[in-house]
Amino acid sequence: MNLFKRMYYRHILRHYAIKHDRWANITTEMQLLQGLSTLERTRLRELSTVFLHQKQLTGVRLQINDEIRVTIAAQACLPILDLGIGLLEG
């Protein structure tokens, strides 16, 4: 990853990070994430933050609230946890 992308991702994580208590409240109940270590959960939170900053989620007959957004982001980023956010670009 080049220098500018790393700086961009750091900026997103610094200014738009999913709040820790919000993340914990939502993801604690997700069975899919039960086997993750603390480090993996931290990386997933970072990936999810970048994902939500880059993607726009639109509901059809459903209001997309913060809980739904974080749940979708966590599930979308779980398969690329060790591969990086670059796979979800575009």
CA 72/CA 57 separation, integer angstroms = 9
Q: Which residue has the higher pLDDT, 45 or 1?
A: 45
**From the CB of residue 88, how many other CB atoms can be counted at a distance below 10 Å?**
17
Q: Which residue has the higher pLDDT, 80 or 90?
A: 80
Domain-wise residue ranges, the chain: 3-88
**pLDDT digits over 14-37, tens only?**
999 999 999 999 999 899 999 999
Listed in order, strand segments (DSSP E) in the chain are: none
- Dmax of the chain from CA atoms? 41
pLDDT given at position 1: 63
CATH topology of domain 3-88: Cyclin A; domain 1 (1.10.472)
